[in-house]
Amino acid sequence: MRKNVSSGSPLEQSIGFSRACRVGNLISVSGTAPIKNGETTCLGDVYGQTKYCLELSIRAIEEAGGHKTDIIRTRIMLTDISRWRDAAQAHGECFASIRPACTFVEVSRFIDPTWLVETEIDCVLDPK
pLDDT recorded at residue 39 = 92
pLDDT recorded at residue 128 = 67
How confident is the chain (128 residues) per 10-residue block, as mean pLDDT?
Answer: 87 88 97 92 98 97 96 98 98 97 98 97 89
Question: What is the distance between the alpha carbons of residues 125 and 104, in angstroms, rounded to a whole number?
Answer: 24
Contact partners, residue 128, CB within 8 Å, separation at least 6: none
- The pTM for the full model equals 0.94
pLDDT recorded at residue 58 = 97
Helix (H) or strand (E) holding 30: strand 26-32
Q: Cα–Cα distances in Å, from 54 out to 1, 68, 85, 128?
A: 25, 10, 16, 25
Question: What is the distance between the alpha carbons of residues 112 and 120, in angstroms, rounded to a whole number?
Answer: 17
Sign of CA dihedral 28, 34, 37, 38: negative
> Domains in the chain, ordered, with CATH?
2-124 (3.30.1330.40)
Q: Cα–Cα distances in Å, from 53 out to 1, 4, 23, 126, 128?
A: 26, 18, 22, 24, 28
pLDDT recorded at residue 33 = 94
pLDDT recorded at residue 10 = 75
DSSP secondary structure letter of residue 79: S
